Amino acid sequence: MKQYSYDESSKYYDLLETSDKENKERNDFLEKAFKKYKITSVFDLTCGTGAQAIYFLKKGYSVKASDFSKGMVDVANLKLKKENLKQRFVKGDMRDISFGKAEAVITMFNAIGHLSKKDFIKTLGNIKENLKPKGYYIFDIYNLKDMPRDLPLKKHIDIIKEKENTILVRFCENKLNLKTGILHTKHELLIQHNLEGYKTIKSHWDMQLYDFKEIKGILERNDFKILEVYGGADRSTFKDKTSQSIYLITQKQ
């Protein structure tokens, strides 16, 4: 699978990919789970720019965090510095990074989609090594069965953003293979500062998607029991064919 490098566009990630509202929903989802299962220590193995890890650090949780992209970690560490938090996050690969033992591991915002099925299984083995006995793994992934309903396949503009004299326009083109579950995506990001000549960042990458039945089987074969499943961070009821995402709370067996 061809991977996406966030390094070049990392400083625009928060503006392009998420919002305060979406981050609040994910953090509320996680916080309810942490309180329900009495979780106080967390490893975020795909921390990105720190939306979850920094939030829970400030809440008093024990948090260690990493991301495969150095650019994303640099953005997250700059945020930590601005918040006067002494902790720093590190560049690391969820397939093999070792932090020790925590009560929970999280990989949010479709992070496992960047892994092949083989590497996802490898990651589950590594997550087990990073969890205490009966620890929890919490994550989400796009629902493959919902994808064909409204996925635009022709080249289109999917994002236009403007902030502090910077304009971002992104073109997107998708191709979905339902048999393999792989979504092929091409992005062309145009960046203009102060009405000067624009810069272009082109990327071409794959995402491995799953339906609930398949991911349930993979988890069970690798010693994880599903405790709760939802159709989104709002804890909506999961619907096999129409929920955009699969949000899972699982436990190491």
Domains 10-143+210-252 and 147-208 share a fold: no
Query: What is the pLDDT, as a whole number, of residue 5?
Result: 81
Where in the chain are the domains? 10-143+210-252, 147-208
| Cα distance between residue 184 and residue 196, in whole Å | 32
- pLDDT per residue, tens digit, the chain (253 aa), is 888 789 999 999 999 999 999 999 999 999 999 999 999 999 999 999 999 999 999 999 999 999 999 999 999 999 999 999 999 999 999 999 999 999 999 999 999 999 999 999 999 999 999 999 999 999 999 999 999 998 998 999 999 999 999 999 999 999 999 999 999 999 999 999 998 999 999 999 999 999 999 999 999 999 999 999 999 999 999 999 999 999 999 999 9
**Annotation: CATH topology of 147-208:** N-terminal domain of TfIIb (2.20.25)
The predicted structure's pLDDT at residue 169: 98
Q: How far is CA 65 from the centre of its chain?
A: 13
CATH of domain 10-143+210-252: 3.40.50.150
